[in-house]
Amino acid sequence: MQSKPYPQANSQKSDIKRSETVNLVHLSPPDDEGGLKLGQILQSLQRQLPLIVGVTVMVTTLGLFRSLTSKPTYQASFEILAKPITEETRVISAVTLSNREVVNGKNSVDPTTLKLLKSPKVINPIVDQLKSKYPDINYESLSASLILKVLEDEILNVSYEDKDSTKVKAILDLVSNAYLEYSLEERLAEVRLGIDFVDSQLKEVQERASKLQDQLQSFRQQYNLIDPESTSKQLATQISTVSQQRLENKIKLDEAYALMLDLDSQLANPSSNSKVSVAFQDNARYQSLLSQIQGLEIQIAKDLSVFQESTDKIKVLRDQQTNLLTLLSQEAERTKELLTSRIRELESRSEILSQAEEQLNQQVKQLSIVSRQYTDIQQEIKITNDNLNQFLTKREALRIDAGQRKTPWQILTPLKDPVASSSDTKRSALLGAILGLLLGIGVALLRDKLSNLLRTPNEVKDISKLPMLGVIPFNSVLISDKKQDGISDLMPLKQSLIDNENQTAIEKLTKIINLKSLLQGSHKRLEGGTNYTQPYYMTSMFLEAFRSLYTNIRLLSPDDKIRSIVISSSLPSEGKSTTSVYLAQAAAALGKRVLLVDADLRRPTLHDRLQFSNARGLSNLISSNLSFDEVVQQSPIEPNLSILTSGQLPPDPTRLISSQKMQSLMQLFQETFDLVIYDTPPLIGMVDAKLLASETDGIIIVVGLDKTKVSSLNQSLELLSNSPIVVFGMVANGSKDYSASLNDTYKLYY
């Protein structure tokens, strides 16, 4: 029975045609670190570890060499207690608002002071004294080598380094004397400045104090005010009383409004059966009329049960009812007039109280302004008197301090003989190692970036924007050892495995690959090589990757089965042939009739991998009258797997691939087998893969990790973007990180 062919994708203007993915089974690699992609950075550093180590060792060595070969220098230092000695000096700083910060009565050595101590005003006299003995000395060199450090708020450490110990001592002796002289000159300058400032301000403060006293006297006379606080309390009491009266009047007015609304409602519905308004409850006349009306209504109701409405008796009763209702309405109007008069009275009282409250509030506002002015005057008088007393006290203290010549700064630690500073080898080595490590990491990341190679499945997915159908782990035995990757070398195992009918196809294939690896390890031991035996979980992990790949392909279109696939890559040696072989084996092991076609008519490899004869193959089938059964070969292990090798190499492979005979054969293959897999040449530089993919359900691109460049993948994707070929997705081949991650899982399981 022929199967229904898979529908081809519509040719429309778009980029690469992607297959609709439904419930895609995808084993994500474990290195997804989100937006920062820290996993990729760590992998790059791991790949470039030798470079990082080399740069680190080189920089560290240079640092140690420089440290060991540098000439010794001599260093000496002394400490100065840089604070005022007298209370008067601290007073000067507060009065003149100098640049020094006064904290708890102590002066800190601020940055301004440090700059002044290294300024030409202080340093140039020292340079002039040393010129005769040291002609090469100048302001720039001395200032650069002179180091000032603030150990505490008031302790200054002064140090100097040079290769001449005598020069160090001579310079620091002059510097210590210069700093003491500087502190004395600064103190005397501040004293003189303080005296001048106090004298200039004292007369002004005295005049201001006299004017403020006169202003306070005039203010009290103008407002007839002795104490604003007592007046404010009286006004507050009056405002509180008026506010309470307004509140009570408002409550009564609201009650009157409510009675008026109730009365209007009663007048609008004068039926005797309606609820009587509160305004009528104390009106005896209204209540009497209302009772008579209710009695007539009862009598009319009784008589209507006997007499007709037109009888004289009923008419008399109706006339009486009308008269009573008229009287009731008149009484209601009179009550309404009384209530209206009450409302007007309450409204007038409310207005009077509001005016009284407003007047009191105006008096309070005016009093607050007057009170604030009164307080401001009192405060200014107090401040002025305090300043006057302080200025008088400080002037006397400054006059006393001006006659003293005591240096305010003191030398805490005397200057000692300069000592040679040993090179800090450990520190140089540590700094060199840190700098070398950082430089090595930067160079490594730059080198890895410039290599432009695809390293991880995530990079392949990000670049291609296509589904990741499978990640094939790196396997040094089953992948790299291509010559021993055949099936015929396991022929001695074939019969023993087929005889056991209770085994499933998957179990057979797993055991065959496992035993094959064991045989390879035995050959290596016999040849004197490394004693290597591939564990069972390694084989299972490798095969499971291809089972997952085939499962993902099946789930790409669960409704219409995929019958034919082209396997290709951007460049040679990316693993497309290996992927084709193991994908075909995985599909056949799951019960599918699979045909593996070596469509690479330029450099075929499947017959070497599978140890099959290539005397007749695809090229012979196209160019001659051979039948399909004469060229196809059956797998000796898997009965569901058939292999069609490339055959003899033609002079023009493209002509054979694009021939009508080839299209007819591809249709025949698709109708005969459940799945046809074409192993084709690379995409870049050759059109064979595109020609075949246009006649199949789609193409799968294999990317060899650590082999394929980003530019190569982009170029191959660009080649497919202008064609109606369906690209199912990508296969990342040779993932070492993925293999290492799954190894732990398989080890624990097995």
Model confidence at 9: pLDDT above 70:
no
Indicate the range of 193-197, 297-301, 417-421, 557-561 predicted with least confidence.
Answer: 417-421
| Residue bearing the bigger pLDDT, 41 or 483 | 41
Indicate the range of 187-201, 271-285, 463-477 predicted with least confidence.
Answer: 271-285
pLDDT band at 211 (very low <50, low <70, confident <90, very high): confident
257-266: long-range contacts at Cβ-Cβ below 8 A with a sequence spacing of 24 or more? 257/343, 259/339, 260/336, 260/339, 260/340, 260/343, 263/332, 263/335, 263/336, 263/339, 264/336, 266/332
pLDDT band at 679 (very low <50, low <70, confident <90, very high): very high
| Residue bearing the bigger pLDDT, 657 or 311 | 657
| CATH value of 72-190+407-421 in 3.40.718.10, 3.30.450.90, 3.30.70.260, 3.30.70.1130 | 3.30.70.1130
Indicate the range of 97-101, 179-183, 244-248 predicted with least confidence.
Answer: 97-101
Indicate the range of 66-70, 309-313, 579-583, 681-685 predicted with least confidence.
Answer: 66-70
CA–CA separation, 377 and 393 (whole Å): 24
| Residue bearing the bigger pLDDT, 437 or 619 | 619
Of residues 625, 640, 582, 637, the one with CA closest to residue 606: 582
For range 84-113, the mean pLDDT: 51
Distance, first Cα to last Cα, the chain: 42
pLDDT band at 279 (very low <50, low <70, confident <90, very high): low
Model confidence at 617: pLDDT above 90:
yes
Indicate the range of 35-49, 115-129, 307-321, 616-630 predicted with least confidence.
Answer: 35-49
Of residues 15, 6, 56, 738, the one with CA closest to residue 435: 56
What pLDDT is stored for residue 452 in this prediction? 73
What pLDDT is stored for residue 481 in this prediction? 43
% pLDDT > 70, the chain = 73
pLDDT band at 245 (very low <50, low <70, confident <90, very high): confident
The predicted-structure confidence for 379-402, as pLDDT tens digits, reads as follows 888 888 888 788 777 777 776 666
What pLDDT is stored for residue 563 in this prediction? 93
What the block records as the tokens of 293 is 């009306």
Give Cβ neighbours of residue 742 (< 8 Å, ≥ 6 apart). Answer: 473, 541
CA–CA separation, 673 and 289 (whole Å): 111
CA–CA separation, 301 and 295 (whole Å): 10
What pLDDT is stored for residue 23 in this prediction? 37
Site of tokens 């209530």: 339
Most confident of 157-171, 439-453, 468-482: 157-171
Indicate the range of 66-70, 122-126, 254-258, 585-589 predicted with least confidence.
Answer: 66-70
What pLDDT is stored for residue 508 in this prediction? 52
pLDDT band at 668 (very low <50, low <70, confident <90, very high): very high
Task: Supply the mean pLDDT for the chain.
Answer: 76
| Residue bearing the bigger pLDDT, 325 or 539 | 325
For range 624-630, the mean pLDDT: 90
Indicate the range of 81-95, 175-189, 334-348, 676-690 predicted with least confidence.
Answer: 81-95
What pLDDT is stored for residue 619 in this prediction? 93
What are the sequence ranges of the domains in the chain?
Answer: 50-58+60-66+425-451, 72-190+407-421, 228-379, 460-749
Model confidence at 626: pLDDT above 80:
yes
CA torsion angle for 92, 96, 102, 106 (degrees, to 10)? -20
| Residue bearing the bigger pLDDT, 24 or 702 | 702
Q: Which alpha helices (DSSP H) does 150-164 contain, by range?
A: none
Q: Which three-class secondary structure state does DSSP give residue 453?
A: strand
| CATH value of 460-749 in 3.40.50.300, 2.40.50.100, 3.10.150.10, 3.40.50.620 | 3.40.50.300
What the block records as the tokens of 579 is 């992927």
| Residue burial 30-55, b: 16+ Cβ < 10 Å; e: rest | ebeeeeebebbeebbbebbeebbeeb
Q: Give, for 17, the enclosing helix (H) or strand (E).
A: strand 17-18
Of residues 511, 534, 507, 512, the one with CA closest to residue 523: 534
Work out the number of other CB atoms within 10 angstroms of the CB of residue 660: 8
Domain covering 228-379 in this structure, CATH number? 1.10.287
Q: What is the DSSP letter of 278?
A: G
Model confidence at 102: pLDDT above 50:
no
Most confident of 43-47, 194-198, 279-283: 194-198
| Residue bearing the bigger pLDDT, 745 or 239 | 239
pLDDT band at 1 (very low <50, low <70, confident <90, very high): very low
What pLDDT is stored for residue 747 in this prediction? 52
Model confidence at 676: pLDDT above 50:
yes
